[in-house]
Amino acid sequence: VSVSNPLLADDLGARVRTVLDAFLDHQQRTLYAVAPECTDMVHAVRDLLGGGKRLRPAFCYWGARGAGAPGDDELVRAAVGLELFQAAALIHDDVMDDSDLRRGMPAVHRRFAAQHQTRDRLGDCERYGMAGAVLTGDLCLAWSDELFSTSGLAPQALRRGRVMFDRMRTELMAGQFLDMLGQSDPHDLDADEAVERARHVIRYKSAKYTIEHPLMIGGLLAGADEHLLAAYSEFGLDAGEAFQLRDDLLGVFGNPSQTGKPAGDDLREGKRTVLIACARRGATSAEARTISRLLGAPGLDAGGVAELQAVIVRTEAHHEVEQMIVDRTKAAQQALAAARMPETARAVLSDLVTAATTRAQ
């Protein structure tokens, strides 16, 4: 397995940056013309998009290159639309979960709330922060589609890609809805059913949208045949599930200085992850009561986080999830190896899967 940075291939990282900068400059001018204060929103987006692993544009771009596309700037522009979609999802997700941090910075609603306070404005700073973040996420959602649709790709290519682009958006919202429903599920579900349910949620809220959909959008933009699309779907789902399982582990055991999120964030939010479902399946009845009592408890402190981590470690749920990551990644790499595509694209896609599933942030 190669260990290079897959964003260096075709200079993609720099090209994504260039498209983002120019596009946000344009939007900043539009907002400034309405009123200078409105640029607060674009500054928030710029800071958020200063970070990020660019996984979705990269899978889209290399999905198209794998189908024989030349990799010109129009393709990069369409792919960057996915990065703005991700920004919208993160901003709204943080509002819904009331998260404090994202990528090591205050979440967008916290940023606006802080501005409300330092600028001595009237009313409730939390409400102001929430409203600012809802609107900024809405802007990113609209801009995502603007970039995609005005990418300059041919109308028939866009028409093909849009079918999956549209499905991605609807299915992601459905996945997020399921995630939110899960957090309010009773704690006494059957253990095996809970694992299956958690896997179903991550398929929609993350696996499809992080890898499968971007790959297929790229493939469709480039006119991939049905064999390649089927390979992308198989490869993308396996790799996407491994990606999200890694995320689940980082959400409980990750180093905050690397993840940019507080330690044990998922536990505080009461996420019904596969990791938690596995822990519950292996738990004694006393441990199961600990999970029910602490998972999602408002204001869960470091002691509570440690208690939950101990249950996960004792039940070896973390090893179970690591094994799932190994299995899914292997299946993904096999599907990739069997697909017919240019070797450069295959090598970069393989590196992207490694980056997505072995990351510490």
Residues at the interface with its own copies (CB under 8 A): 27, 30-31, 34-35, 37-38, 40-41, 88, 92, 95-96, 98, 116, 121-123, 127-128, 130-132, 134-139, 141-143, 145-146, 149-150, 155, 162, 166-167, 169-171, 173-178, 180-181, 183-187, 200, 204, 270, 296
In terms of Cα–Cα distance, which of 205, 186, 222, 215 is closest to 75? 222
Nearer to its own copies, 88 or 249 (CB): 88
Nearer to its own copies, 59 or 148 (CB): 148
The tokens for 132 are 């600012």
The nearest distance, CB 44 to its own copies, in angstroms, is 11
The nearest distance, CB 337 to its own copies, in angstroms, is 30
Nearer to its own copies, 103 or 187 (CB): 187
Q: Which helix (H) or strand (E) holds 35?
A: none
CA–CA separation, 42 vs 27, rounded Å? 7
CA–CA separation, 200 vs 205, rounded Å? 9
The nearest distance, CB 233 to its own copies, in angstroms, is 15
* Contact between 246 and 53 (Cβ < 8 Å): no
Nearer to its own copies, 120 or 343 (CB): 120
- Judged by phi (left if over 0) then psi (alpha if -120 to 50, else beta), residue 68 lies in left
In terms of Cα–Cα distance, which of 99, 25, 85 is closest to 57? 85
Q: Which residues of 233-270 are buried (b: 16+ CB within 10 A; e: fewer)?
A: bbbbbbbbbbbbbbbbbbbbebeeeebebebbbbbbbb
The nearest distance, CB 198 to its own copies, in angstroms, is 13
Nearer to its own copies, 3 or 34 (CB): 34
The nearest distance, CB 162 to its own copies, in angstroms, is 6
